[in-house]
Structure 1
Amino acid sequence: MASQKAQQRRILGELQDMAQEPLTPSEIFRRADEVLREAVGFDGVCWHGTDPATGLVTSVLTDDLRLEDFSHAVELEIWSEDVTQFADIRRSGRRADTLSRATNGQPGLSRRFREQIAPAGFGDEMRVLFDTAGGHWGCAAFMRAPDRGSYRPGQLALAQRAARVLGTALQRSQLTLAAAPFTTQPPAVLLLGPDNRVTHADEQAERLLVEFADAANRVFAVPTPFVMAAEQARAAHASGNVPPPLRVRSDTGAWFVLNTSLLGGSGDATVAVVITAASAADVMPVVFATYGLTTREREVALRVLRGDDTREIARTLCMTTLTVQDHLKSVFTKAGVRSRRDFVAHLIASQVPVVWD
C-alpha cells in the first residue's frame, strides 16, 4: 500500500510539473499517455478537446483505436441513453467513472460496450473529464483488455486525481496559445448531409475547414466540431430542444462559434452549419474560466471592463468597497496583472474587446 501511494505521488508530481510547461493540448495528451498508461492500466485511449463552455467534444486524438469507429461513437454518445456518458459523469459530480463500476460488474448492460467496446477487443472502459476552474477543457476514454479484468478502485482514484491536474494543464494551455485578432468577416456556411459529409460550402467555409482539420477528416472528410454540431442539431430537434452553439478555436488561435439549423423535419436531415467569428460575449466566459475566476470575481471583472469604479461596482453588486477590492486583488492575481489598467491591457493583448455591453 505504501509503495502504491508513493507511485501515485510520483505520477501526480510528474503531471504537475508538466502542467507548468507551455504545451499545446495534443502535447499534453501525449505526455499524459506516457505517464498514466501503465499506472492506470489502459491499453487504448481516445483523447478529446472540448468547448470550454459547454463540454461538447471538438477534437479527437488517438493512436490506439480505429478512427473508422468514431462515426458510431458519435452516434452512441449523442443518440443513445447509456451509462457513463460524458455529460452524465459531469452531472454526477465525478471526474471519472468505469463501465464495470457503473454496471455493478455487468458491462454488457451498456449498449456502447456491446456495439463498440467489446467488438474492438476491450473489456472495460474508464471515462475521465478534465474540468476545472469552471471550464470544460477536455475528456478521454481509456480502454482495457479483457484479460486484465476490471479497473480497480485505486486506478479509478488515481485517474480522478490526475484529471484535476490535466484540467489545469489544459486550462493553462489556452493562455499560451497565440491569439488571433477578432474579425468582422461575414459568416461562412456549409451543408452537411445525413452522413455528415459536405454537400455544399461557400468559399470561406472551405478555407475554415482546413484551419479546423483533425483526425476526424479521415472518417467524415470534415473536422470533429462540425460533425458534433450537426449531430447535436439533429438530436435537439428530435427532442424538441434548441442545439447549443459550439465554441471552437482554429489553428490560427481565433475563436469561432458554430450555430446549426436543420433543413427538414427528420433526424437524418441535412444540417446547415453557420460559422461566425466569436464576439467578446462568446469568448468572455472562456477567458474568465481560463483565469479560474469564481462567479463573483467574474461579475466584478465585467464591471471593470465596463469602466465602473470601485464604488459603482459595490453599489451595482450590493457589496462593500472592501469586498470589491478583495475580489479585484484576486482577479488581478489570477490574471497575472497588478492593476485595472494592466488587466484591460492584458485582455487587449489577448484580442478580447473590452467594450462588452
Structure 2
Amino acid sequence: MTSRREAERRAISDLQDLANAGLTASDVFRQADPVLRDLLGFDAVCWHANDPATGLVTSVLTDDLELDDFRQAVQLEIWGDDVARFPEIRLSGRGADTLSRATGGVLHRSLRFREQIAPAGFGDELRAVFDAGGGMWGCAAFMRAPDRGPYRPGELALARRAARHVGVALQRSQHLEAQAAQKPLPPAVVLLGPDNHLLSADERAEGLLDEFADDSTAIFSVPTPFVMAAEQARAAVSGSRTPAPLRVRGRGGRWFVLHASLLRGRPEGPAAVVITSASPAEIMPVVFASYGLTHREREVALRVVQGNGTGDIAQALCMTPLTVQDHLKSIFTKAGVRSRREFVAQLLVVHPPEVWT
C-alpha cells in the first residue's frame, strides 16, 4: 500500500511536471485537480486565473459549483472585510490558509462562511494563492463537506507546497508562444447594469467577448474580468478600494487592459468598461514576472529597454558596472536570449517600439 508520504511526493512531482508541459492556465487547473483532490480531501473547488500585477481575478473555472451566486462572491471579495481572503494570504507569504485556522475553529466568525459557504452545504474552506516570480498568477478555493471536519495541519502544509508549483506552471503558461507583431486595437466599450449583467456592447466589444469567455459568462452574459472591473469601480466610488486597471490575456495571446467607470457616479449605477490593447508599459510588470526577474533585475531591465547603457544604469541605480553586467547575464538567461538586442526585440514582439516611462 502506498503511504501518505509517498503519495504526497508523487503529487508534488506531478505538479512540478506541469511547468514543463506547455499548458494553458485552464489546462494547469484541470490537471492539478485530480492530483490534489484526494490528498487535500476537498469536495468542490473553484480555480481562478489572475492579473499577475494586481492579483485581481480574471477567470473562473469549476466543475463542482453552481455559479448562480457568483455576484455575491465577487462582492464579498471586493467589498468584504473577512479573514483568509486571497490578498491577505498573499501578503502573509503563507501561500495557503484555512477558515478553521483563521477563525480559531469558529467558522461562523467568517462573513464568507455565513453568507456563502454554509448555505451551499460546505464546511471548512482552504484557499491557496499561486505566486511565482513576483506575480500572482492564480488562486483557488477548496471546500469540503461538514462531516469531513476541518482541514488538518498536514493538508494545509501540502497545499502550501503545491501552491508554489502551480504558480510556476501558471507563470510558464504566459509565454508559451511568441506572438506576431500586431497593431493596437481601437478601444471597445461594454455597458453593465447595476447587477453587472450585460446591457449593451459596441461592435468591437462584441467581437472581443469570446476572447475572455469562462464559466461566469453564462451567469452575467460577460466574462469574469468585466464583472471584476465594474465591481472594483463601484468599491472605488464608495472609497473602500483604490481603482486599478485590470490586465487580462485573451485566448489568442494578446494582452488587454480593462478600465471601468460609473456613468452616474454612484455604486448602484450602470458601469462602462473600456477595453484597450495593453501598451508595453502596462504589460511590463507581467512580462518581468513571467521571466521571474528579481526587483533589482526589473529595474535594470526597464532601463535596458529605455536604451540606457551600462554606465548610465550603474549611475542611476547606484551600483558598479560589473554588478550591472551580472544582472544582465541573469536577465538574459531567464528570458532565454543572448543579448540586449534580442531581449528588447522579444519584449516588443507584440507592440511597435516606443519610449517607456
Q: 1:182: Cα distance to partner?
A: 4.4
Work out whether residues 280 and 348 of structure 2, in 8 Å CA contact, stay in contact via their aligned partners in 1.
no
* Residue 280 (str. 1) matches residue 301 (str. 2): no
Which shifted more, 164-173 or 297-306? 297-306
**What is the aligned partner in structure 2 of residue 300 from structure 1?**
300
Aligned residues: 356
Q: Distance in 1 between matches of 2:8 and 2:224?
A: 33
Q: Write the mapping of 1:1-357 to structure 2, written as runs, cut at 5 A.
A: 3-177=3-177, 179=179, 181-239=181-239, 241-349=241-349, 351=351, 353=353, 355-357=355-357
CA shift, 1:287, in A, is 0.3
| Contact 2:133 2:292 (8 Å CA) reproduced | yes
TM-score by length of 1: 0.95
CA deviation string 1:107-164 (max 9, x = no partner)? 1111211121112111110010001111010000000111111100000000001000
> What secondary structure, in the 3-state scheme, does the structure 1 residue paired with 2:333 have?
helix
SS in 2 for 1:243: coil
For 1:88 and 1:55, locate their aligned partners in 2 and report how far apart those are by CA, in whole Å. Answer: 11
Secondary structure of the residue aligned to 2:174 is helix
Deviates more, 1:210-219 or 1:173-182: 173-182
Aligned equivalents of 2:16, 2:241: Cα separation in 1: 40
Which range moved further: 310-319 or 250-259? 310-319
Q: Deviations over 1:138-195 (max 9, x none)?
A: 0000001111111000000000010000000000000105536443332111211111
Taking the aligned partners of 2:140 and 2:352, their CA distance within structure 1 comes to 30
Determine if contact 1:131/1:163 at 8 Å carries over to the other structure. Answer: yes
After alignment, is 4-13 or 68-77 more displaced?
4-13
Q: 1:328 to 1:337 in 2, by over 3 A?
A: same
Matched-pair contact (CA < 8 Å) for 1:347–1:354: no
| 1:180 to 1:49, Cα distance in 2 relative to 1, 3 A | farther
**1:263–1:201 distance in 2 versus 1, CA, 3 Å:** same
Report the AA paired with residue 143 of structure 2. M
The Cα RMSD (Å) is: 1.7
C-alpha distance after superposition, 1:185-236 (max 9, x if no partner): 3211121111112223211111111222211111001100000100111011
Tell me, yes or no, if the aligned pair for 1:77 and 1:85 is still in contact at 8 Å: yes
**Take 2:147 and 2:267, find their aligned partners in 1: how far apart are those partners?**
39
User: Following the alignment from structure 2 to structure 1, what is the Cα–Cα distance between the partners of residues 350 and 193?
Assistant: 36
Question: Percent identity at matched positions?
Answer: 65
Are the counterparts in 2 of residues 180 and 253 from structure 1 also a CA contact under 8 Å?
A: no
C-alpha distance in structure 2 between counterparts of 1:111 and 1:298, whole Å: 39
SS at match of 1:167: helix
Query: Which residue type is aligned with residue 346 of structure 1?
Result: Q
CA apart distance, 1:240: 6.0
Q: Secondary structure at the match of 2:172?
A: helix
| Residue 260 of structure 1, CA deviation | 1.2
CA distance in 2, matches of 1:241, 1:87: 13
CA distance in 2, matches of 1:178, 1:310: 28
CA, structure 1 residues 138+240, in 2 after alignment: closer, same or farther (shift >3 Å)?
Answer: closer
Moved more, 299-308 or 123-132: 299-308
SS in structure 1 opposite 2:175? helix
Letter in 2 for 1:211: E
Supply the distance in 2 between the matched residues of 1:25 and 1:178 (Cα, whole angstroms): 16
Q: Would the alpha carbon gap of residues 94 and 352 (structure 1) be closer, same or farther in structure 2, given more than 3 Å must change? A: farther
Q: CA deviation at 1:266?
A: 2.8
Amino acid at match of 2:34: E
- Counterpart of 2:119 in 1: which secondary structure? coil
State how far apart, in whole Å, the 2-side matches of 1:341 and 1:277 are: 24
Q: CA deviation at 1:333?
A: 0.7
**CA distance in structure 2 between the partners assigned to 1:337 and 1:209 by the alignment:** 34
Distance 1:139 1:254 in 2: 22
Q: Distance in 1 between the 2:85 and 2:337 partners?
A: 39
* Structure 2: gaps spanning 5 or more residues: none
Contact 1:178–1:252 (Cα < 8 Å) also in 2: no
Q: CA deviation at 1:241?
A: 4.8
Give the TM-score, by structure 2 length: 0.95
Deviates more, 1:257-266 or 1:119-128: 257-266
